[in-house]
Structure 1
Amino acid sequence: MKTSYSILIQLSMINLLAVLCLGQDFDFFYFVQQWPGSYCDTQQSCCYPKTGKPATDFGIHGLWPNYNDGSYPSNCDPDSPFDQSEISNLTSRMQKSWPSLACPSSDGMKFWSHEWEKHGTCSESVLDQHGYFKATLDLKNKVNLLQILKSSGIIPNGRFYSFNGITKAIKGATGYTPGIECNVDEAGNSQLYQIYLCVDTSGSDIIECPILPRGKCSSSIEFPSF
């Protein structure tokens, strides 16, 4: 009986480990950039980082592992907390390209910690902590969304642009269909908030999205100034 019980315990542990390992698998990344003007132009408002007002540019929100069915893993490794020392040589780049607009004003560490622990730990089989943040910053350098939109006459000046026009401009420049997410300004207008591009599991190459997020956008979208 004891032998049978020991075997059952061992099998249970093996099954548990298998589930944990499967939980860290993923099919692709969402690389998400957000427009600061739309983050701030809501009833919630925003707070600039301690380093001052960010550049008038799209900022990184995150690099999120996803499954092809639209679901995603999260908080995959509680034994891998965010370690500021791991990104010491990336901090200046992150302050510029990955600023936090949440209140109260901060140095960004809480934001980056959240992104690593919720999303980054689910890609540890591919990217360690330094690699995760560096890959995300490199993707930002690879895709200049603001310049892409400006080249198509889509400028952050408070005017309204067609949803299809924004999508077409980004696809024309990158070769891939973006996901567009909108939020609502204080007047209740739909505004351009976040842009999703899909990235392969190496975290380096943009791919066509297996599934696009639901963006809740109107056919005409405001692109607010910042």
Structure 2
Amino acid sequence: MGKSGSSLLMKLMVLLSFAMVALGNNNSLRAFYLVQQWLGSYCNQRGTRCCYPPTGKPNPDFTIYGLWPYYNGGSFPYNCGDDNYDVARLKPLEKSLRKAWPSLTCPQIGRKFWVHEWNKHGTCSKKFLGEIPYFQAALNLKNKANIFQALARSGIKPNNQFYSLKSIKKAIVRSIGFHPWIVCNHNAQGHNQIWQVTLCADRTGKKLINCPYLPKGRGSCASKIQFPSFY
């Protein structure tokens, strides 16, 4: 091979190495999206029936819907590997999870909800958070991002009244310090209502940060939305 051929091969190898680094960076964890939901808005949709867990009705609160990893490449990865998850490992956290991360889906799925969330989302963050740390991070972040308390401080309560979307976002920013991504749905009467509130954390799962990306279009909200009662 002549000098020109060697030079060309070297350039190709350099470009390939840069491409591999870029691909690796794109597939690395950038942030976590902590998604909380108002179960009152989930349960009052047309055709939806909720079942309470064996422990009874949960106290009114925004509860964890999921902790979703977000990659540098701009994707929300899921199902990153088969994992024979032993839910018994969560025994020390079970009381806290039942309170902060319940499921009211009928028939009651209980622990299966946590297993589903780990298999779908947690497996994509294993390099940073193991199984127990993943769930502990979600619980700790929820305590830092107390949506119910933030809204109550501004007089926004689940009383079936309508509040401006702007005032809801302002209340959350004032109390928690970060801009939320709010998703709405419709109740059986067709009213636009608050359903999910998302805030972000760094890739350690310990510190709240501004979300690197706020999705548009999904579950868009009207300028005024209803805050339904919990039950």
What is the CA–CA distance in structure 1 between the aligned matches of 2:202 and 2:225, rounded to whole Å? 29
One of 36, 40, 56 as aligned partner of 2:60 = 56
Residues 1:91 and 1:37: Cα distance change in structure 2 (over 3 Å): same
1:161-220 deviation per Cα after TM superposition (whole angstroms, max 9, x unaligned): 001110111011111100000011001111000000011100011101111133411110
Tell me by how many angstroms 1:23 deviates.
8.3
Residues 1:64 and 1:119: Cα distance change in structure 2 (over 3 Å): same
What is the CA–CA distance in structure 2 between the aligned matches of 1:165 and 1:82, rounded to whole Å? 42
Contact 1:23 1:73 in 2 (8 A): no
What is the CA–CA distance in structure 2 between the aligned matches of 1:185 and 1:72, rounded to whole Å? 28
One of 108, 133, 136 as aligned partner of 1:134 = 136
Q: Which amino acid aligns with 2:68?
A: W
What is the CA–CA distance in structure 2 between the aligned matches of 1:165 and 1:93, rounded to whole Å? 30
Contact 2:26 2:72 in 1 (8 A): no
Residues 1:163 and 1:47: Cα distance change in structure 2 (over 3 Å): same
What is the CA–CA distance in structure 1 between the aligned matches of 2:124 and 2:146, rounded to whole Å? 26
Where structure 1 has 5 or more consecutive residues not aligned to the other structure, the ranges are 1-17
Q: Which amino acid aligns with 2:50?
A: C
Give the corresponding residue for 1:208: 210
Contact 1:158 1:223 in 2 (8 A): yes
Residues 1:122 and 1:21: Cα distance change in structure 2 (over 3 Å): farther
Alignment pair present for 1:42 and 2:48: no
Give the corresponding residue for 1:182: 184
Query: Cα RMSD over matched residues?
Result: 2.1
Give the corresponding residue for 1:71: 75
Larger radius of gyration between Structure 1 and Structure 2? 2
Q: Please state whether the residue corresponding to 2:193 is helix, strand or coil.
A: strand
Give the corresponding residue for 1:31: 34
Q: Which amino acid aligns with 1:146?
A: F
Q: Please state whether the residue corresponding to 2:171 is helix, strand or coil.
A: helix
Give the corresponding residue for 2:115: 113
Tell me by how many angstroms 1:50 deviates.
2.2
Q: Please state whether the residue corresponding to 1:171 is helix, strand or coil.
A: helix
Q: Please state whether the residue corresponding to 2:188 is helix, strand or coil.
A: coil
Give the corresponding residue for 2:99: 96
Residues 1:68 and 1:192: Cα distance change in structure 2 (over 3 Å): farther
Contact 2:37 2:195 in 1 (8 A): yes
Q: Please state whether the residue corresponding to 1:90 is helix, strand or coil.
A: helix
1:36-71 deviation per Cα after TM superposition (whole angstroms, max 9, x unaligned): 110111112322122211111111111100135652
Residues 1:50 and 1:213: Cα distance change in structure 2 (over 3 Å): farther
Q: Percent identity?
A: 50
Tell me by how many angstroms 1:22 deviates.
7.0
Where structure 2 has 5 or more consecutive residues not aligned to the other structure, the ranges are 1-20
Alignment pair present for 1:223 and 2:227: yes
Tell me by how many angstroms 1:141 deviates.
1.4
What is the CA–CA distance in structure 1 between the aligned matches of 2:191 and 2:29, rounded to whole Å? 35
Q: Which amino acid aligns with 1:171?
A: V
